[in-house]
């Protein structure tokens, strides 16, 4: 028998970071899809900045999450979960983390290559690592976009798996991330 949720669940911090990241990447993704084709306008400049600020925040949260995870072990998989599912879950989570780092970094590099520095919240300048180069900027932008499409697919799989665990396997995978009974 699995132990009760309170003993083996996620920490409240981990739960908050998970849902915070989820909200930010949904907003960042939607903005990214929307803003690209807009005609140049003050609104477009604003949306690009908001998009970048969201990305910087996602990156920062990803760093915090990995650090938190290093000191607060994630709850174990349910005992009845088959090993191929465990392997798939681990791979998907590793990919999600990789993208949480890679997408903002490549977005920032692309912005630098376009000649636009990223200034977090309009106040904190983040140095440009790359010089201005149109070719490089276009390439990085393309990679940024494709990685986002990959992220989209993995997030769909992630949600699908959570729903499957809840309704078909009837385990507590989804419930323990929904919080409530999280340990401190």
Partner 1 sequence: MKRLAALFLTMLIFIPGALYSAPVERDKSSISFLTRQMGVPVSGSFKRFDADVSHDPKDAGKSRASITIYMDEVDAGSDDGTVEIKRKPWFDVKNHPKAEFVSSSIKELGPGRYEVAGKMTIKGRTREVLAPVAVKKDGGLWLFEGGFTINRLDFSIGEGPWADTGTVDDKVEVRFRLLAPVEEKNNKRRLK
CB 56 within 8 A of CB 103: no
Using CB under 8 A, which of 31, 35, 81, 119 touches partner 1? 119
Shortest Å, Cβ 148 to partner 1? 21
Using CB under 8 A, which of 83, 84, 122, 131 touches partner 1? 122
Q: Cα 164 to chain center, whole Å?
A: 21
Residue window 133-172: x/- pattern of binding to partner 1, with contact defined by CB under 8 A:
-x--------------------------------------
Shortest Å, Cβ 46 to partner 1? 6
Rule CB under 8 A: is residue 83 a binding residue for partner 1?
A: no
Using CB under 8 A, which of 36, 74, 115, 160 touches partner 1? 115
100 Cβ contact partners less than 8 Å away, ≥ 6 residues apart: 21, 25, 58, 59, 61, 62, 65
Using CB under 8 A, which of 30, 34, 46, 67 touches partner 1? 46
Paired tokens of 128:
């440009």
CB 119 within 8 A of CB 140: no
Length of the chain: 184
Paired tokens of 171:
């385990």
Q: How far apart are CA 56 and CA 71, in angstroms?
A: 23
Positions touching partner 1 (CB under 8 A) are 40-43, 45-46, 48-49, 114-119, 121-123, 134
């Amino acid at each position: 028998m699995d132990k009760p949720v309170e003993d083996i669940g996620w920490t409240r911090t981990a739960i908050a970071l998970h849902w915070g990241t989820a909200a930010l990447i949904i907003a960042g993704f939607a903005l990214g899809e929307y803003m690209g084709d807009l005609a140049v306008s003050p609104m477009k400049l604003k949306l690009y900045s908001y998009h970048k600020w969201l990305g910087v925040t996602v990156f920062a949260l990803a760093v915090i999450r990995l650090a938190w995870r290093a000191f607060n072990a994630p709850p174990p998989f349910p005992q009845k979960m088959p090993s191929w599912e465990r392997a798939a879950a681990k791979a998907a989570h590793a990919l999600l983390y990789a993208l949480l780092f890679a997408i903002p970094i490549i977005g920032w590099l692309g912005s630098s290559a376009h000649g636009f520095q990223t200034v977090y919240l309009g106040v904190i300048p983040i140095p440009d690592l790359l010089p201005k180069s149109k070719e490089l900027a276009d390439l990085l932008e393309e990679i940024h976009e494709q990685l986002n499409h990959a992220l989209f697919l993995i997030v769909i799989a992630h949600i699908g798996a959570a729903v499957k665990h809840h309704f078909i396997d009837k385990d507590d995978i989804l419930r323990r991330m929904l919080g409530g009974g999280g340990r401190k």
